[in-house]
């Protein structure tokens, strides 16, 4: 009887210890996991030129994909210590909230509703929304978009949907899963205007410049695109936010500027002025 | 799980659900009628008709619905044919499922023993009458279970219409997810709505199976 009781007590102690260990490991930052794993898992897009796409050689690349490599370089000392997890627009947030990816870099605009359920670093790029129309289109200005004859295409993201309602309420707005499909709609005549992130628009017009033009001006405000992650992990958030700051505005600005120039053909916003006094 | 979040966004999801039901009704009607035509042609005495129907079935069931929808929506305008996104989606789902349902109908008809037809003809019935009075009633009872499966697949396939900008339930859920970054609440609610729609159709079919049971032949 005593043996049975002591065995039971021993079992309970072991169970309690294992639960305690689990609780301790549940509190462990994902940053430690990344370091132990020696590889970072990042959710990126593969259908959003030029941010994340498959190039002519079948390689996943783009500005954001390369930013992801810069993050791996800063975290683990090697840009190739990375696993790129491609997701669609609707799969990017579940990818990090479910823990499948450590964080995501996927054209995510900081949006107050999102900030309740996601943690964002400071932005790694500003973006604005531009509108493309076919050459010779009767749509000459952004004001012309608010017309019943306009078929206004974009991705099915909250920011795009809100902008279509705000700036072109009379237009027939149509929303697609990906920028690729929205661009195809413009090319095939399904839509008469396409709103997209400035990077995507500049890339598209760069490759189809003789058929399409960008309307003057930006639709709506400047957006902040940022790295997103599961909330509640302060050490990881702090590390990512610090690294982003160092690339965009600090000690590693040179690498960031070179990458920016490669993908957008121009200099990024300058570092803040140095106060010599 | 945040119930208030779901209730606050119920109008958006309900609008999407209404569009899903409209797509499903269109595709269910198109596919059940189209399936009849396919089965009729597949069993025709005229070889060219059989070949055409066989080719149609093979093309439709061996290519993905997504590709078919893209061809109709993005491809046809280059040939000067412009259909709305809704029509393109309903037509694509009707065409593909006509192939499946046509085969289900055909399987039901060939499962009736040939002697029944011979007996009907021996009693003086014309071939059309034998089909209508003897063969079809029995075949339809037999195809009800597989037909039910296919109809439920059609309902779930309506989600593909979101890829060509039809504002149905899946598209509404994607928008909601993008705005809120709340995947669990969103997807669970959407799954329950799909379940309710599919269960409604499944219930009607169960009732039909109960009302028209298969009898030993």
* pLDDT given at position A26: 54
Mean pLDDT calculated for residue range B25-38: 96
Residue range A214-226: average pLDDT? 90
User: Once rounded to an integer, what is the mean pLDDT over residues A143-168?
Assistant: 93
Segment A50-93, tens digit of pLDDT: 899 999 899 999 999 999 999 999 999 999 999 999 998 878 99
Q: Which chain B residue's Cα is nearest to A88?
A: B174
SS3 B165: coil
Residue A24: its pLDDT value, please?
46
CB-CB under 8 Å, A118 with B178: no
**Cβ contacts of A160 on chain B, cutoff 8 Å:** none
Task: Tell me the chain A residues in contact with residue B73 when contact means C-beta distances shorter than 8 Å.
Answer: 190
Question: What pTM does this model have?
Answer: 0.76
Pure H helices in chain B: 3-8, 10-42, 47-61, 65-70, 85-110, 114-122, 127-129, 136-157, 169-180, 183-211
Residue B13 has pLDDT above 60, yes or no: yes
Inter-chain touch B179–A111, beta carbons under 8 Å: yes
CB–CB of B174 and A189 under 8 A?
Answer: no
Q: What is the pLDDT of residue B179?
A: 79
Span B158-179, average pLDDT = 91
Which value does ipTM take for this structure? Answer: 0.76
User: Would the CB atoms of B162 and A156 count as touching at under 8 Å?
Assistant: yes
Q: What residues of A are in contact with residue B174 (Cβ under 8 Å)? A: 89-90, 156, 177
């Amino acid at each position: 009887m005593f043996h049975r009781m002591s065995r039971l007590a021993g079992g309970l102690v072991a169970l309690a210890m294992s639960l305690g260990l689990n609780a301790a490991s549940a509190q462990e930052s994902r940053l430690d996991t990344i370091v132990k794993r020696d590889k970072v898992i990042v959710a990126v897009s593969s259908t959003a030129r030029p941010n994340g796409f498959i190039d002519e050689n079948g390689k996943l690349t783009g500005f954001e994909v390369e930013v992801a490599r810069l993050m791996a370089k800063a975290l683990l000392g090697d840009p190739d210590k990375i696993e790129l997890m491609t997701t669609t627009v609707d799969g990017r947030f579940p990818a990090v909230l479910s823990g499948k990816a450590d964080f995501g870099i996927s054209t995510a605009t900081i949006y107050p509703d999102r900030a309740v359920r996601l943690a964002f670093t400071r932005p790694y790029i500003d973006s604005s929304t531009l509108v493309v129309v076919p050459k010779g289109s009767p749509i000459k200005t952004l004001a012309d978009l608010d017309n019943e004859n306009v078929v206004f295409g974009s991705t099915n993201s909250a920011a795009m949907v809100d902008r279509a309602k705000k700036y072109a309420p009379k237009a027939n707005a149509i929303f697609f899963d990906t920028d690729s499909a929205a661009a195809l709609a413009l090319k095939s005549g399904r839509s008469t205007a396409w709103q997209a992130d400035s990077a995507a628009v500049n890339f598209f017009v760069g490759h189809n410049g003789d058929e399409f033009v960008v309307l003057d001006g930006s639709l709506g405000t400047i957006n902040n695109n940022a790295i997103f992650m599961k909330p509640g992990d302060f050490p990881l958030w702090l590390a990512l936010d610090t690294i982003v700051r160092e690339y965009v505005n600090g000690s590693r600005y040179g690498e960031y500027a070179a990458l920016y120039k490669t993908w957008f053909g121009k200099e990024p916003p300058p570092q803040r002025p140095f106060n010599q006094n | 799980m945040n119930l208030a979040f779901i209730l606050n966004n119920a109008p958006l999801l309900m609008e999407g659900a209404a569009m899903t039901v409209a797509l499903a009704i269109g595709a269910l009607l198109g596919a059940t009628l189209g399936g009849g035509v396919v089965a009729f042609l597949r069993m025709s005495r005229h070889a060219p008709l059989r070949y055409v129907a066989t080719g149609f079935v093979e093309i439709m069931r061996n290519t993905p619905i997504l590709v078919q929808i893209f061809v109709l929506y993005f491809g046809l305008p280059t040939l000067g044919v412009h259909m709305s996104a809704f029509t393109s989606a309903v037509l694509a789902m009707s065409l593909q499922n006509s192939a499946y349902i046509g085969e289900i109908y055909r399987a039901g008809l060939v499962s009736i023993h040939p002697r029944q037809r011979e007996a009907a003809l021996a009693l003086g019935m014309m071939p059309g009458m034998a089909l209508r009075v003897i063969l079809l009633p029995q075949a339809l009872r037999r195809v009800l279970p597989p037909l039910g499966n296919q109809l439920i697949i059609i309902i779930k396939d309506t989600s593909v219409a979101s890829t060509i900008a039809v504002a149905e339930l899946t598209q509404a859920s994607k928008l909601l997810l993008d705005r809120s970054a709340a995947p669990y609440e969103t997807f669970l609610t959407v799954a329950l709505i799909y379940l309710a729609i599919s269960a409604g159709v499944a219930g009607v079919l169960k009732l039909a199976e109960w009302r028209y049971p298969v009898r030993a032949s």
